[in-house]
Chains A and B, each alone.
Chain A
Amino acid sequence: AQSVTQLGSHVSVSEGALVLLRCNYSSSVPPYLFWYVQYPNQGLQLLLKYTTGATLVKGINGFEAEFKKSETSFHLTKPSAHMSDAAEYFCAVSGGWGQNFVFGPGTRLSVLP
């Protein structure tokens, strides 16, 4: 079984500041890990994913995340926030293709001018 926790339901940063959104997971099998973003009144779109290989993965819009097995974490970062990054971000875990795909509760990111 898989589960995901996201620390902080709401994070506020100033424009140009570092963005750090936290995600911890549990999985009974080697996990596949994902970050999705949701803009208001829209569906979700993929930011980045980790399946195997390099533990630092880069995604769209300047975001990246690092898989740390020892810490069971997959935190999302961006060096410099932009106003357009304001959205809700979801971390997710899967046991593999076609398997149960579980989302965390989400973190709403606000970017202040």
Chain B
Amino acid sequence: NAGVTQTPKFQVLKTGQSMTLQCAQDMNHNSMYWYRQDPGMGLRLIYYSASEGTTDKGEVPNGYNVSRLNKREFSLRLESAAPSQTSVYFCASMAQGTGELFFGEGSRLTVL
């Protein structure tokens, strides 16, 4: 089982460039999430999607957009990257009935 797959695993951008982080899950989960992890701040929720066709803002949505392309895929887009967006990004999906989040391996993004 692949579980939650994120691409790319590493990316270096220049300020102002755009990019999209891709996430796909093969567990037939309804809910999907994007977090960023920064030292001393834990994981902060950027956006989540409770089900296909819906998205909601989390704690730190500014500078990001998301698309729930279908039930499997949930992408995160940075339209104009800033150094403050240097972070490790995690995608997760939630199992119905248990509330457990399953995480991808993370994507390390550096914005110069």
Contacts and interface: CB of A to CB of B under 8 A. Distances in A.
Nearest to A51: B99
23 contacts: A32-B99, A34-B99, A34-B100, A43-B4, A43-B104, A43-B105, A44-B43, A44-B92, A44-B103, A46-B101, A49-B99, A90-B42, A92-B101, A96-B99, A97-B99, A98-B31, A98-B51, A100-B48, A101-B33, A101-B94, A101-B101, A106-B42, A106-B43
Interface of A: 9, 32, 34, 36, 42-46, 49, 51, 90, 92, 94, 96-106
Contacts of B90: 43-44
Nearest to A46: B100
A97 B40 contact: no
Interface of B: 4, 30-31, 33, 35, 40-45, 48, 50-51, 56, 58-59, 90, 92, 94, 96-101, 103-106
